[in-house]
Amino acid sequence: MKSWEVPAKPFSTYTKKYKTGIVLGGVTDVHKLPRDRVFTKQGADRILHAAKLYDLGIIENILVSGGSFSEEEGAISEALQMKKVLLQCGIPDSAIILEENSLNTRENALESAKILNRIFPREEHLLITSAFHMKRAMGCFEKVDLNVDSFSTDFYTSDGSLNVNPLEDIYPTEESLSITYRVSREVLGYIVYRFLGYT
């Protein structure tokens, strides 16, 4: 997983100003009740780091991208759920752009491009998604001719070792098997996207 994740960079290395930070979905639970709050899953730092990037003036706007996977009555898009979190973080409504039609990474790119090429043509944007998902996401956004740089979040690996037992590095665990499955699935997704011409 560590060899596949796109590394994080300090905020201070982002010396350019970006018109928009594009936050990809996959971080809220659209099925969880009650609907009077937002339930987040792993990856919620996509939203929190986007808010920090806005506060630092690195991005001027935040586009949240993700439709609704649920046909349940009262279900809302993931983009709208992410917007609720951003509003709670103090981001002004005027700086948040909704993209509510996409259901996968390719659609994230296509639908985001429709919006951004209309309102901010030829501008530079910052793509904010999970480190393990960044390679496929960047490929999709570059394919639709959006000018994007990467900002990795939601890491499955750490930069140090807390193991006190050397056997923990080689002994199979439930967590390591889960991470192996996740990265294998992502690599396969990347290969399929390349084959289909999405990246």
Instruction: Round to whole Å and give the CA distance between 26 and 136.
Output: 15
Please tell me the predicted confidence (pLDDT) of residue 165: 62
**Amino acid in the structure at residue 131:** A
Domains detected in the chain: 11-196 (3.40.50.620)
Structure-token pair, residue 181: 């499955």
Structure-token pair, residue 90: 């103090």
* Contacts with 190 (C-beta within 8 Å, 6 or more apart), sequence order: 135, 136, 139, 199
Pairing of strands 18-24, 96-99: unpaired
Whether the pLDDT of residue 161 is over 70: the answer is no
Please tell me the predicted confidence (pLDDT) of residue 157: 87
Lowest mean pLDDT among 34-43, 52-61, 85-94, 153-162: 153-162
The answer to whether the beta carbons of residues 140 and 31 sit under 8 Å apart is: no
pLDDT band at residue 166, thresholds of 50, 70 and 90?
low
Please tell me the predicted confidence (pLDDT) of residue 116: 98
pTM equals 0.91
Please tell me the predicted confidence (pLDDT) of residue 176: 82
Whether the pLDDT of residue 162 is over 60: the answer is no
Taking the alpha carbons at both ends of the chain, their separation in whole angstroms is: 21
